[in-house]
Amino acid sequence: VPKLITFGETMVQYNATYNGPFMENGKYILDAAGAESNFAINLSKINHDLETVWISRLGNDDAGKFILEHLKDKTKISVKIEPKDFTGISYLNHINENTHVKKYIRKNSAASKIDFSDIKPQIMSADAIHLTGITPALSSKCYETIFEALEYSNHSNIPIILDINYREPLWSPSAAKQTY
């Protein structure tokens, strides 16, 4: 069975059930939000003859436990649990029909510490790797890890799928342009 791996941050997302700005006592629907895990899940839905693996780090907290439960049976999961770190959180509010606002709590999250050692056991048997432009913007460690994965993939002739997926709140256009 061919194997595709991807790595990056999946956060718990609180989706507001009301229109308007964030309210402490507002009602939310809990979900998981992550470009890389979404890619792995959706690709496995349309290609049952492909093994997809999502690689990350999560905090040993309720958010991390929710993500593991949410993703299980949807894609293979290779996650390191970090007892001293937290899982990223996203708040999504709809101001009106056409405007939404996202608030992130993700700086220094467990996923911002993803290291090539987290990826190496999976990349060694991968047939393809999916990367996004989100992961290198999370931290200098993630930036370094992306390039280690690219180097390994190039050296091993593993095809690379790149989704730029630019997120302006994470880094400037000029920093992203230099990376891409």
pTM beyond cutoff 0.75: yes
Structure tokens, 26: 């507002």
CB 129 within 8 A of CB 154: no
**C-alpha to C-alpha distances, 154 to 38, 123, 124, 145, nearest whole angstrom:** 25, 12, 12, 14
Report DSSP letters for 101-133, one per residue: EEEEE-TT-GGGG--HHHHHHHHTT-SEEEEES
DSSP-based three-state secondary structure for 163:
strand
* In the chain, % of residues over pLDDT 90: 84
Report DSSP letters for 12-36, one per residue: EEEEEEEESS--TT--EEEEEE-HH
Tell me what the mean pLDDT of segment 67-83 comes to: 97
pLDDT of residue 61: 98
Q: Which helix (H) or strand (E) holds 174?
A: helix 173-179
pLDDT of residue 169: 84
pLDDT of residue 168: 85
Tell me what the mean pLDDT of segment 15-38 comes to: 93
Dist CA 119 CA 96 (whole Å): 40
pLDDT band at 24 (very low <50, low <70, confident <90, very high): confident
CATH superfamily of 3-179: Ribokinase (3.40.1190.20)
pLDDT band at 180 (very low <50, low <70, confident <90, very high): confident
Contacts (Cβ under 8 Å, ≥6 apart) of 180: 133, 164
pLDDT of residue 64: 98
| Digit-coded pLDDT (tens) for 109-168 | 999 999 999 999 999 999 999 999 999 999 999 999 999 999 999 999 999 999 999 988
DSSP-based three-state secondary structure for 10:
coil
Of 108, 118, 29, residue with least CA distance to 66: 29
User: Does residue 96 register a pLDDT over 90?
Assistant: no
pLDDT of residue 22: 83
pLDDT of residue 17: 94
pLDDT of residue 170: 87
Q: Strands of 51-59's sheet, edge to edge? A: 76-82, 51-59, 3-7, 128-132, 160-163
Report DSSP letters for 138-156, one per residue: H-HHHHHHHHHHHHHHHHT
| Digit-coded pLDDT (tens) for 45-65 | 999 999 999 999 999 999 999
Dist CA 167 CA 36 (whole Å): 14
Mean pLDDT for the chain? 95
